[in-house]
Structure 1
């Protein structure tokens, strides 16, 4: 059974104008999604807002995913804020926390493994994702990270593969897909196109990537999230297209 998620960046104009993500939950449900992905950079930081989001999501029958624009590993240790992010996730009544990997250059294999085991309690999963920077999301580091994890009994760490972000890093998307498809359970779906010689995020049908063929590569993926600013009708139509090839 697949899960279809809408990231709140879909409503970027609302977010930029200070609208609380708690006000967006019903819109996500009306568009036909199973879950809402909350972005931590657009939260006020208050516990009351997170609890309100959880209440609205429960009322709408939506799961909550929590996206944090930060790294899992910083320097020679896990991010000092990781426990705070886990607590925020739980206030959102979520069991899905997503971050970028960061750099593994200064952390030992043992420190990484023991640190993760101390945080994971069997009640939630961590998804690591590729953002648009080599510093936080290089393909080599991502592969190394999962090679380390696969040699342990850690079960609750998976990969969120953003099909477009690789373009910003100059990495071949097909190569990245081949390297990471076995550990990917979550796909972030958007497209990219050059506008006035600058790369920009666009809806799936408006960009240069053959997103359909990419999605079909990921046989282990069960969660599909749309992540781009777009008109409601465009998002609803593209959700139908995604469902057609993933159900």
Structure 2
């Protein structure tokens, strides 16, 4: 079952299954069957989870994704801005990889953005590619704080820089920020949501499945654009990966329908 046109698409982040599971199955391509059969609309492929040599065969992976009737997003474990404010010199390569994968979006962390940086060269590069760049709040003091993130999107908007935001619902907790305040502040820039909850155990935060959380994710999600695709990034664990994935796909669809 695909998402009705008036509801946000549901995307499964391969990292939700855990590094070891992905490795044991033989790579991210082996998850596509579970994702498609769960009724999800798409998959977020993670660069850091490629098996050896896989990055050289992105066209083949793209074809498998299409055969399963899924859309693709692409995530790289890198920052857009390096220390000193330089735009990541590998961004052009990441954009090309995303295009080979047939990805609609390229997700990357903000990094060391400082107000006043000249974004003209970044604008030129991004406009040369058809992939949407979506900048995520991560779990670092540089890329996970509301003020620099808001300043970046203000600067991008002023320059008509075609970038949007991946709003990770739980990462704010790792840097002591209020997720609901961030959602209300940044909502207009958000085109993709990482649905995630977190819980403190033994003094450390851990990502948890929605059913294992305190429910604080609900008002945060409600404050974000209803049309933005929802990426399931919280742990998907169990003997039947299709079933557990389907359960949460259905839960998020029900949540979206009730918000209409």
Displacement of 1:51: 2.2
Partner of 2:172: 166
Equivalent in 10, 14, 17 of residue 16 of structure 2 = 10
Partner of 1:237: 247
For residues 126-175 of structure 1, the C-alpha deviation after alignment (integer angstroms, 9 at most, x for no partner) is 00011111122221110000000111223x31111111111111111111
For residues 182-226 of structure 1, the C-alpha deviation after alignment (integer angstroms, 9 at most, x for no partner) is 111211101111223321111112113422222111135421110
For residues 12-54 of structure 1, the C-alpha deviation after alignment (integer angstroms, 9 at most, x for no partner) is 1322447211211122111111110001111135444422211
Partner of 1:85: 94
Distance 1:211 1:93, change over 3 A: same
- Does 2:66 correspond to 1:76? no
Distance 1:221 1:45, change over 3 A: farther
Further displaced range: 23-32 or 212-221: 212-221
* Aligned length in residues: 244
State the SS of the aligned residue for 1:182.
helix
TM-score (normalised: structure 1): 0.91
RMSD: 1.9
Partner of 2:185: 179
State the SS of the aligned residue for 1:147.
helix
The answer as to whether partners of 1:163 and 1:188 remain within 8 angstroms in 2 is: yes
Partner of 2:103: 94
- Does 2:139 correspond to 1:139? no
Determine the C-alpha separation between the residues in 2 that align with 1:76 and 1:168.
23
State the SS of the aligned residue for 1:77.
coil
State the SS of the aligned residue for 2:174.
helix
- Does 2:71 correspond to 1:58? no
